[in-house]
Amino acid sequence: MAAVKELLLEILHSLNDGEFRKFMKFLQLAFQKDFKDSPRLLRYQYDRTEILDVMVQTYGRQSVDETRKILKKLIHLLNLISLGYVVTL
């Protein structure tokens, strides 16, 4: 599990602040879909290490799959923005 956490933390640190905020929006939506509510920490905390801990506690090894899904959505969103579309979350 330590290797999973290291990989995910590396990914989260590779995002700039704007990308990370968008990642957090998608993560909140995923929590709402899966659990009907997102942990309070996700709404008010933007420390990457603490967010990772919540993800791993909640999704376990599935954190990698959940991160992959969110990154695909984020890449799609950023592509739309680069094409000139106005997108809001």
Q: In the prediction, which pLDDT does 61 show? A: 86
Q: For the chain, which residues score pLDDT lower than 50?
A: none
**Domains in the chain: ranges and CATH:** 2-82 (1.10.533)
Q: In the prediction, which pLDDT does 26 show? A: 92
> With the C-alpha atoms ordered 71, 51, 49, 45, is the resulting torsion angle positive or negative?
positive
Cα end-to-end distance, the chain, whole Å: 32
Q: How far apart are CA 87 and CA 89, in angstroms?
A: 7
